[in-house]
Amino acid sequence: MTEQFKFHMPTQILFGRGLVKHLADYIPGEKVLIVSDPFLYKNGVAQAIGDGMTGKKVAYFSDIEPNPSCESVDAAAAVAREHSADCVVGIGGGSSMDVAKIVSCLVTNPGSIYDYYSGGTKKLCPRTTGLICIPTTAGTGSEVTNVGVFTNRSTHVKLPMVNNEFWPDIAAIDPDLTVTLPPAVTASTGMDAFCHAIEAYWNKESLPLCDMLAMGAMKLILKNVKKAYDNPQDMEARSAMSKASLIAGVAFSQTRTTGIHATSFPLTAEFGASHGIACSITLPAFMRISGELEQEKMQELASYLGYSCLEDFADGVEQLMGSMKMPLRLHELGVKEEDIPHIAEVALSAQIIQLTPAVMNMETVERLLRSIL
């Protein structure tokens, strides 16, 4: 049988230290809205990038919270419309970049995000506003995906929204922006990138190009995440982590994610775990069951990364997480035995869970969660 696959990556990628200070030539039109979070506004990073946009009229919306709410999206969209933005630039972690994606669409699409997102009945018309994403964490890869993840504040439900209008026109990755990340955020976002890579690799919809990208990303992360955690100024490690996050992002942008991300949604929305922690806490457990349907492929990966077998590989990743003081057990997030059926039910409601290379049902997901309670 002839192998067939499709690979679609419309985003132009710019990578390099210091490049974000000179983006003016890449920006369409005159009016720019920069979407960022309070930290990046107060420490001057968002403004320094805006100041480099010579000749542009730059406005700022800087109130994006982690795991952004639909209400924040609507508030940012109101500013974008008032400013008649020709281009929206998201600067930050996944939270600010995801908001920039939907805001760039809402400039010309009327109404609230709720009209288009989960249960909304309207369809986004093609965006005419430019979209540039600039990551300041090395984790989500949102700069190269067509996904935005938003939380409904009243129901506490966090859900991804996938739309082809969300592919940024440009992803500008400057590792210098990650140097201020505190060690705990370096660890959690770095392991989020590892989850993207491994979930692309073991995905039931994996493809050869993405396997190669994912393997390379995992190697870079295993070699560099602890170095960046121990020494935040280590620019070689920081650059490697930015590159790995980007590459893992490209990989999972084609395959989507799997059980790890499906389970992360309730752990974040209901137990307050940061995205990177909510994902990586189940990583070793999902690794241990991934041999169920992908024994040979996972063994190849373990060997490529220098481990004798899948069990050693999972132990090694768990030890690495422990060495960065990351939580390894669900009770550390406040999860109790009686919460397990509900977490499993919410996780199973996300279709991506069925892309995991193991049987995923109430019994198996509850068992996995209990194994790390």
Q: Does 91 bind ligand NAD (CB under 6 A)?
A: no
Q: Does 142 bind ligand NAD (CB under 6 A)?
A: yes
Q: Is residue 36 within 8 Å of 79, Cβ to Cβ?
A: no
Q: Does 245 bind ligand NAD (CB under 6 A)?
A: no
Sheet holding 12-15, edge to edge: 12-15, 170-173, 130-135, 87-92, 31-35, 57-61
Q: Does 164 bind ligand NAD (CB under 6 A)?
A: no
* Of 79, 96, 90, 99, the residue nearest 37 (C-alpha): 96
Q: Give me the 96-125 binding string for ligand NAD, x by CB under 6 A, dash otherwise.
A: x-x---------------------------
DSSP of 164-204: GGGS-SEEEE-GGGGTT--HHHHHHHHHHHHHHHHHHHH-T
Measured CA to CA in angstroms, residue 21 lies from 54, 59, 88, 252 at distances of 10, 17, 16, 29
Q: Does 168 bind ligand NAD (CB under 6 A)?
A: no
Minimum separation from the CB atom of position 148 to ligand NAD (A): 5
Q: Does 93 bind ligand NAD (CB under 6 A)?
A: yes
The greatest distance separating any two alpha carbons of the chain, rounded to the nearest whole angstrom, comes to 59
Minimum separation from the CB atom of position 36 to ligand NAD (A): 8
Minimum separation from the CB atom of position 276 to ligand NAD (A): 5
Q: Which stretch binds ligand NAD (CB under 6 A): 54-62, 134-142, 168-176, 328-336?
A: 134-142
CB atoms within 10 A of CB 101: 29
Q: Which of 11, 129, 152, 189 binds ligand NAD (CB under 6 A)?
A: 189
Helices 208-230 and 291-304, interaxial angle, to 10°? 60
The position carrying tokens 């600039």 is: 134
List binders of ligand NAD among 263-292 (CB under 6 A): 275-276
CB atoms within 10 A of CB 233: 8
Q: Does 137 bind ligand NAD (CB under 6 A)?
A: yes
Minimum separation from the CB atom of position 241 to ligand NAD (A): 12
Q: What is the rounded distance in angstroms from the CA atom of residue 87 to the CA atom of residue 90?
A: 10
List binders of ligand NAD among 24-53 (CB under 6 A): 37, 39
The nearer residue to ligand NAD, 71 or 315, going by C-beta atoms, is: 71
Instruction: Please report the beta strands in 229-305, taking only residues with DSSP state E, as ranges in sequence order.
Output: none
Minimum separation from the CB atom of position 130 to ligand NAD (A): 18
Binding site for ligand NAD (CB under 6 A): 37, 39, 66-67, 92-96, 98, 136-137, 139-142, 145, 147-149, 177-178, 180-181, 185, 189, 192, 275-276
